[in-house]
Amino acid sequence: MLQKLAMIRIHLIAVFGLTVLVFSSAIRADSDLPEASEAVSPAKIELADQTVIYGQITDIHDGELYVTTAFMGEVVVSLSSITYLESEEAIELLTTEQEKLALTSLMVVDGEVVLDDADNLTLDQLDVANPEEWEQGHGYRITGRATSAIEYNRGNTETDKLNLDAESIFESRRDRITLRADYEESSALVTETDVDGAPVQDAEGKDVTTSQSTADNWRVEGKYDYFLTDPRNYLGVNLGFRSNEFADIDQRSYASAYYGRKILTRDTLTFDAEMGVSYVDTDFTDSVDDSYTGININFTGEAQLFDSKVTLYLRQANIVNLSSAEKSIYRTKVGLRFPLFLGLEAAAEASADYDGGAAEGKDKLDQALKFRVGYTW
């Protein structure tokens, strides 16, 4: 019964995170009206169903046009539905053939981009607007963060806690490499007692205390994703290692192969889903070692809220044990990040890790609420 309640709590957290991600785009739409739209005449976009949209073109990618309007916020339009477009704002376009065009204005008539000194382009030949170097196939875009949560408590309770977390992502038009690592250690001062349970005292009559470790665990993970012809789809492999002294896990290793899909790809709202096959091998310190094959289902998402002043993020990793579903692993992390200054950021984060294959006598559910400070790049 307790295991079922724990799993329900984990899925409630995941559902909450997914729900907020979906509705966050609507929140930002009401709060993000660019100043540039006041200085430049809005673009006029006519669709095949005779709908007319006025706004500022902010991006083009994955066959979609992103427009910020004064009344509807950000609107996403399929390029194939556009029959006429007129914009006076300068724009750079990258074609699917990796040709870059610098235009002082943009005109689309009957589904074709009108060019003065070259043949017209069909809209399905457009790849990206205002591309960065990595989007043109030159190198990788490198992003990441390193954060820490530290607690030093002296009083009625004397504890020390340290948690370090780091992530770095290298993304090109061809592939994506993700590296993650975290480490946690905590200790508490405990009063020594004699065989009768009475406190042991020193020569001055003070209780004798010793520092005892209460947590000691680490995790490292590496992912490689290869984008297919449609870059929203990808194939990937994942390799990870974990150790947790107080969960009796000397070392757990897992390897996965999966298919992934970028479901949402906006600058302010991203969501990836992955599904594949995993192999998990656990070496316990005292208990009998275990290994199994499972199905891995992963979700990763981020939403920029309130003009990118707050970032909501979700990461959920599930490995369903095919031989015994009750021994499956569910990991959920939901948090809010706040930029500070000079690349520094703060975060409030809730996590729930359910390990159905934990050693006999060990808790299957670990929950934590952390407040973090770190650096992002």
Tokens 């009750």 appear where?
A: 326
Indicate the SS3 state at residue 43.
Answer: strand
Q: Catalogue all structural domains in the chain, each as residue range(s) with its CATH number.
A: 32-131 (2.30.30.100), 139-376 (2.40.160.40)
Q: Where does residue 42 rank: exposed (0-12), middle (13-18), buried (19+ CB within 10 A)? A: buried
314-343 pLDDT, tens digit each:
999 999 999 999 999 999 999 999 999 989
Q: To the nearest whole number, what is the mean pLDDT of the chain?
A: 85
189-220 pLDDT, tens digit each:
767 777 777 777 777 777 776 777 777 899 99
Which pLDDT score, from 0 to 100, does residue 22 have?
42
What whole-number percentage of the chain has pLDDT above 90? 54
The candidate with the shortest Cα–Cα distance to 105, out of 123, 97, 93, 95, is: 93
What is the model's pTM? 0.75
Could you tell me where the beta strands, DSSP code E, fall in 248-328?
249-265, 269-284, 290-305, 310-321
